[in-house]
Amino acid sequence: MDVDSTAAETVGALWHAADVSRPPIDHVAAALELRASGVETVDPYPGRTSIPFRVRCLKPECAGHSDPFPTYLSSVRALAKKGNVACLHCRKRERANNRRAEMIKLGRVLPTVEVVDVKTAIRSWCLRCWQVCDPGPRLDNLRNGQGGCEHCGGRKRFSDEAARQLAREWGYVPDANVHYTNDATKWPGRCIEAGHPCEPVLNSRFRSGPCETCAEHGFKPDRPALLYLVTRLDIAAAKIGICEDSLKNSRLYEHNRNGWTKIEVMRFQLGVHARTVENTVVRSWRARGLLPVLNNGLGYDGYTETVSLKSLTAAEVWSQVSAVADQIRAAAQPGQRM
């Protein structure tokens, strides 16, 4: 490692660790910060963090190296706090690669073109029947459990007995009176390990176990849970969500890292009630024509449970959540935990 790189990393680490206002800096100090974020100056630093100037990527093979682009030092610092590099080409490539890997994992399809976003249909090869899907699946559909391949995914691909064998190998026994429909339809049954009732879709066997109750980590319908409200002002979004009520839970911490601010939290003794409140509130938004909020036209983790702060204030959202929770409490049987 050269001296410049070491110095850049040291300066970057010190600034990131210090939660204080920074004094004005000169070109040399700015250049060190930039190198710590993976870019170098092309134009002299203008002396203010809010004035754009051109930089280029430190990687010779990156398009951002041969094609300098404008940025702000304030933007570079904000990206560094989230662990992101300053080169827009590197960030775009990383996001596309992550989306590609997700399509392979969730949909068992191999994209033949760049996965530009979650809403675009991507031409792909099916890794099960090896037929070409054109225009192909969308990543947001795969995330929602829908089949990837237009030839075999999301449609009846197995005999009933073959599907039941896959389910048993996965860890649950489907209801004998409910026939297999397709990989994207919930198929009720009981988990083999503990006999809990469960209702998974076969597509989920590539990424999780069949039974939420038996899951070692994360949200469980029969355990204490949190329902939370977070907001993100840069995209004017309010989001509600549910997670386990446990010291091991990192969901709210992850939201904070991604720019969300916690507004309210409500505790439930049973996760199933928290989920009912969340589903009821989100369905009411959609029934009123209030759409989820995208980030520059792109979806992101949890965006389906969002609503625009231009349509509802955070206080209005939480008031609705509280009202639905009160209705569920009133409807609960005497002595039933909430």
Amino acid letter for position 201? V
pLDDT of residue 7: 46
Rounded Cα gap, residues 201 and 170, in angstroms: 11
CA–CA separation, 109 and 126 (whole Å): 4
Q: What is the layout of strands, in order, in the sheet containing 109-111?
A: 109-111, 124-126, 132-133
CB atoms within 10 A of CB 110: 15
pLDDT of residue 254: 81
Helix (H) or strand (E) segment spanning residue 162: helix 160-170
b (16+ CB within 10 A) / e for 153-186: bbeebeeeeebbeebeebbbebeeeeebebbbee
pTM of the model: 0.42
Give the per-residue pLDDT at 224.
87
| 33, 76 contact by CB (below 8 A) | yes
Q: How far apart are CA 252 and CA 267, in angstroms?
A: 14
Helix and strand numbers (H, E) in the chain are 10, 13
At 77, which amino acid appears? R
Give the 3-state secondary structure of residue 312. coil
Distance CA 125, CA 131 (A): 6
How high is the mean pLDDT in each 10-residue block of the chain (338 residues)? 47 47 75 88 88 90 89 88 85 88 84 88 81 85 75 67 89 91 82 85 73 65 87 93 79 84 92 90 93 80 88 94 89 58
What was the pLDDT predicted at 322? 94
